[in-house]
């Protein structure tokens, strides 16, 4: 999941990638 997010986002958006990854992990754990 994290790798997919990194591929979709640009390298300059590393902070956003981290946030999206954390959100994806929390979402996966929630469901």
Count structural domains, the chain.
1
**Percent of the residues in the chain that have a pLDDT greater than 70, as a whole number:** 52
Q: With helix as H, strand as E and coil as C, how does the chain read?
A: CHHHHHHHCCHHHHHHHHHHHHHHHHHHHHC
Q: Within its chain, how far is the Cα of 5 from the centroid?
A: 5
**What pTM did the predictor assign?**
0.39
Residues 14-25 have pLDDT tens digits of 677 787 788 888
Q: Answer yes or no: is pLDDT of 1 > 70.
A: no
CB 2 within 8 A of CB 18: no
Range of the domain at 29: 1-31
CB 5 within 8 A of CB 24: yes
- Alpha-carbon separation of residue 31 from 6, 7, 26 (angstroms): 22, 24, 9
pLDDT of residue 16: 72
């Amino acid at each position: 999941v994290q790798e997919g997010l990194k591929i979709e986002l640009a390298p300059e958006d590393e902070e956003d990638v981290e946030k999206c990854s954390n959100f994806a992990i929390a979402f996966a754990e929630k469901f």
